[in-house]
Structure 1
Amino acid sequence: MEKFWERIYRPNYITGYNPFIIKNMNKAIERMVEAINHREKIVIYGSCDVDGICGLASLLLILKYVNADVEYYIDEGTGISHTLDTDALKNHVHFLGAQLLITIGCGLKSQEQEYLCRELGIDLIITENKKMKANNGAIYINPSQQGCSYRYKNLSSCGVAFKLMQAIAIYYNMKSVNRYLDLIIVGAMSARVENTGENRVLLKEGLKYLKETNNYGLRAIMDFYNIKEVNEDSIHKMIDVITPTISAVGKKDNARIVVELLTTNDKYRAEQITKYLYSERNR
C-alpha cells in the first residue's frame, strides 16, 4: 500500500528520482522516524575515504536538522568491499548507546554480526551499492540488491546516502535537502563515478550548490587555498585536502577532524581545522 509521504512526491520537488522506488526505503524511513520521534540514539557508521566521509557528514547534518539524537563512528577501512568491524560494534557503537545503526557504504561481514547487533539491541540500516543476493534481517538500502527495480545502479556511497536523505526530506516536507549536494559532489567525484544517469544530475546540481556553498568547512578550504573558480580541478584539490592522512594523530582521528570540519556551524573553528590539515600535510 502506498504511504502518505510517497503521495506528496513530485519530480520537481527535489533533485533526482523518487527514492521510494529503492527496495526497503519505506522500512528505513519508518524505522528512522520512530528513532527520531522517540529520541533513540542513532549512530552513523562510515569509512575513512572521502566518499564515506561526505556521505556521513551530510546524513549527520540532516539528522541534526530534524533534531535526531545522533552520533557517528569512523572506521579505518576504505574501498567498495568495506564491511562492519565486529570489535567496533562491541566496543564503540554499543558504547555510544546505539539503538539504530546506519552504515554508509558498508555491509555486514557475516550473519554473526547481525545476530550480535540483535543481542545488543541495535537495529540496522545498511546502505551500500554492490551486487549482492543475501537479504538478511537488516534493512538494506542498495540499488544493486536483488529485487530492487531502481534504475540507477552506479551511485557512490554518498549518492546512496543522498537517496536516504531525499526520503527523509520528503517525509518531513523539507525543501532544502539539495543544499547538501555541495558535499555529495565532493564525495561522488572522489569515488570517480560515471557521469551518466542520475550521477549526471547530482554532479551538475552539486556544482551549482558548491559554488554558492554555505558550508563553513568547504568555504574555509576555498578561502585558505584561494580557490576562486569551482571546477573539476579545484574540487579535486578539496578532495586532496580532506583525504585523511596517516600521521602522528592517526588516520581515524584525522577523519573525525574532517567530519567536524564539514559539519561545524562555527566559521572560526572551520578556519582553524583547515589550517591544521594544511600543517599535517606539510610536516
Structure 2
Amino acid sequence: MTIHRPRLWRIAPHDESCVRRLSAALEVPFLVAQVLVARGYTARDQARAFLMGTLMDLHEPSLLPGVEEAADLILAAVQARRRITIYGDYDVDGVTATSLLWQCLRLAGASVDYYIPDRLEEGYGLNCDALRRLHREDPNRLVVSVDCGIASTEEADFCRELGLDLIVTDHHEFGADLPRARALVHPRLPGGAYPFADLCGVAVAFKLAWAICQRLGDGRRASPQMREFLRGAVGLVALGTVADVMPLKDENRIFVRYGLASLAQRSGLGVKALMQAAGLEPKGPLQAEDIAFALAPRLNAAGRLGQARLAVELLTTDNPDRALRLAAYLEQLNRDRQTLERRLFKEAKELVNAHPEWKERGALVLAKRGWHAGVIGIVASRVAEHFEKPTILISLPPAEGLGQGSGRTYGEV
C-alpha cells in the first residue's frame, strides 16, 4: 500500500508595503495584490498588463522570426494557384494549428489541404515517407508544418532533394542545426528578438495567419472579413494554449482570456457540437478548466487512437449534421481511451506491487506487450503520481522490435 505524503506549500516571501501600494493603484483586493507581488509583478503597469491585457497588447506578427518570409511565400503560392498542404501534429495544439491555418488559407482563396501523421504508425513530426507521397501526388505543392518540424533537419534535406518546398512553423526545442527549409517561423530562433518565447504551436500559426491577413488588407490592417476570422480564431489558440499547458502570462494570458469568450460566442459548428457532447451547454461562460478537462481530452482522444484527422475535420466542418456525428464519435473515442487508461494503470500498479523492492528505487521503468502506445503517457503520469517517483512506461510490440515509451517526472526531479 502506498502512503501519500501531504503536500508541502511554500509561501513566497513578499513586501507588504509593496502589496498595499499595488492594491491601491490597481483597486484590487489585498489578496490579489499579494499574489501578483509573489509572482514578481511589483510595478503597477506590469501588474495591470498581466491582469487586464487586451488584444491590442498582442505583439505585432512582424516581430516573430521568419513570419514575413513565410507569409510572402504562402501568398505567392496562393497567387500561383499552387496546392498548399498543412502538415500538423496529432495533439490538440497541432490540430488547432492545422485548423486555424486551413481556415485562413481557404478565406485567402488557396487550394489547401492538410496532413496529420498517424501517431501509432508514423510517430511525431515530419517523416520522409509522407513527404515522398505528398511530392508524388503533386510535385509543385508547398508544405507548411505547424507545431512540428524544427528538429526535422534530415526531413528538410529530403524535401530539398525532392524539390518540395517546405516552410516550418513550430515552438519546440531545437538542436545546434536548424532545418534548411524555405522559411522557419519560431519565437526563439537565434538572432530573433521576439518579446515572448512561450507561444504554443497554434499561437505561432495565429501570428502567421495574422501576417497573411495584413497582406490581404492594406499591409498593416486586415480586411473586415479577415479581422472577424482572427477574432474567432483566438478561441482555437486558447484551446491549444491550455491543452499544451503553456504558462498563462503575457500573450498566452490574453489569448486564453479572449479565446474563452470567443469559444462561447463565436464557436464554429464543430466546437459547439463538441461542447454539447461534453455537457458544457448551456453552462454559461467557459473556464480554462473546461478546456483542460472536457474539450481537450476529447480532441486528444482522436490523436491517441490514431484518428487525429477527425479532430481537424470537426473543427473545420460547415455541415451541422457532420459536426454532431463527429463530436459523438470523438466522445466514444474518449470513452475508449478512458477504458484503456484504466486497464493500463491497473496493470502497471500490479506490476509494481508484485515487486515491492521496486518501490525503493529512485524511478520506475515498466514495459509490457500489448500496452496501447497512445495512452502510455497519460498512464505514466498517473503511475508517477501514485508511487511518487519518476516513471517510464514502454509499450512493447507483439513480436520482436523496438518499443514505444513515454516518461513523466515527479516532484522536483
Answering whether residue 106 of structure 2 is matched by residue 50 of structure 1, we say: no
Q: Relative to structure 1, is the Cα distance of residues 232 and 131 closer, same or farther in structure 2, using a 3 angstrom cutoff?
A: closer
Change (3 A) 1:121 1:212: same
Q: 2:227: which partner in 1? A: 175
Assess, with a 3 A threshold, how the Cα gap between structure 1 residues 160 and 108 changes in structure 2: closer, same or farther.
Answer: closer
- 1:36 corresponds to which residue? 78
Q: Judge conservation of contact 2:93–2:200 (CA < 8 Å) in 1.
A: yes
Distance in 2 between residues matched to 1:259 and 1:98, nearest whole Å: 24
2:288 equivalent in structure 1: 232
Instruction: Give the match for residue 177 of structure 2.
Output: 134
Could you list the per-position Cα deviations for residues 112-171 of structure 1 after superposition, in whole angstroms to 9, with x for gaps in the alignment?
Answer: 422321232221111112344534431100111101111110001111111111111111
Match of 1:117 among 159, 164, 175: 159
How far is 1:75 from its partner? 1.6
Aligned residue runs from structure 1 range 1-283, under 5 A: 16-77=58-119, 82-92=124-134, 94-95=136-137, 97=139, 99-107=141-149, 109=151, 111-132=153-174, 133-138=176-181, 139-173=183-217, 174-176=226-228, 177-227=230-280, 228-229=283-284, 230-236=286-292, 237-245=294-302, 251-252=305-306, 254-282=307-335
8 Å CA contact 1:48–1:244 kept in 2: the answer is no
- Contact kept, 8 Å, 2:117 with 2:124, in 1: the verdict is no
Structure 1's 204 and 93: CA in aligned 2 closer, same or farther, altered over 3 A?
farther
Using the size of structure 2 for normalisation, the TM-score is 0.60
Q: What do you get for the CA RMSD once the two structures are aligned?
A: 2.4
Shift of 1:77: 4.6
1:84–1:108: 8 Å Cα contact kept in structure 2? no
Residue identity opposite 2:114 in structure 1: Y
- 1:67–1:180 CA distance, 2 compared to 1 (3 A): same
Alpha carbons 1:14, 1:166 under 8 Å: kept: no
Task: Report what 1:7 is aligned to.
Answer: none
1:98, CA displacement in angstroms? 5.6
User: Are 1:103 and 1:125, in contact at CA under 8 Å, matched by a contact in 2?
Assistant: yes
The gaps in structure 2 that reach 5 residues or longer are 1-53, 218-225, 337-413
Q: Residue 88 of structure 2: SS of its match in structure 1? A: strand
Q: Distance in 1 between matches of 2:158 and 2:271?
A: 38
Q: Which moved more, 1:130-139 or 1:187-196?
A: 130-139
Supply the distance in 1 between the matched residues of 2:277 and 2:153 (Cα, whole angstroms): 46
Task: Report the residue type matching 1:218 in the other structure.
Answer: V
Superimposed CA distance per residue, residues 18-53 of structure 1 (whole angstroms, 9 cap, x where no aligned partner): 111122222111100100111101111111111111
Contact 1:108 1:114 in 2 (8 A): no
Unmatched 5+ residue regions in structure 1? 1-11
Return the offset for 1:92: 4.0
Structure 1 residues 67 and 239: alpha-carbon distance in aligned structure 2, compared to 1, 3 A threshold: same
CA separation in 2, counterparts of 1:150 and 1:276? 40
Q: Normalising by structure 1, what TM-score?
A: 0.86
Identity within the alignment, %: 28
Does the Cα contact within 8 Å between 1:182 and 1:207 map onto a contact in 2? yes
SS at match of 2:325: helix
> In structure 2, what is the Cα distance between the partners aligned to 1:137 and 1:267?
42
Spell out, residue by residue over 1:219-239, the C-alpha distance to the aligned partner (whole angstroms, 9 max, x if none). 011223331231123222011
- The range that moved more, 87-96 or 27-36, is 87-96
Match of 1:30, SS? helix
CA deviation vs aligned residue, 1:176-195 (integer Å, no higher than 9, x gap): 21211111111111001101
Structure having the higher Rg: 2
Aligned residues of 2:86 and 2:98 also touching (Cα < 8 A): yes
| Kept after mapping to 2: 8 A contact 1:100/1:122 | yes
Q: Indicate if the aligned counterparts of 1:99 and 1:121 stay in contact, CA closer than 8 A.
A: no
